[in-house]
Copies of this chain bind each other. A is one copy, B any other.
Amino acid sequence: MSSNSAKLEIKSLTDNIGLARVTVASFAAQLDFTLSEIEEIKVAVSEAVSNAIIHAYHNDEGVIEIGMAINNHRLIITIKDYGQGISDIEQARQPSYTTADRMGLGLVFIDSFMNDLEVDSKLQEGTKLKMVKIPEKSQKKAT
């Protein structure tokens, strides 16, 4: 599989967090990820979708778009909401920082489980996370 893409659109309901995880994991399986890498991808998706539900939409109705792409043997996942937005992205990415009495570990987990994370956000417009995961096996091959 050298190139492919898919898009999943869900409502901001906690019922759909598992759906997002399963869909992205199934798409990711087209690359040569280990089971443990697939688990890491699932955590990252779960964190990003949970954040959209809680922080972006405050448990109100909203749409979450999940883009999946395989490009050059890399998995690229984008998770986009049209909610509140983040005022200070630097701060949001710090361990333990939370505005909702949670763990403050969501973005930290995404950061450590994926090879790359970009956060793009505008207040009142929404947030887009772009994360990249490269199978360890193909990284070794490349060197």
Contacts and interface: CB of A to CB of B under 8 A. Distances in A.
Contacts of A19: 6, 23, 26-27
A87 interface: no
A27 B23 CA distance: 10
A7 B4 contact: no
Interface of A is mostly: mixed
Contacts of A4: 11, 13, 15-16
Interface string A1-33: 100111111110101101100110011001000
Contacts of A1: 15
Contact of A23 (B5, B13, B23): B23
Nearest to A10: B6
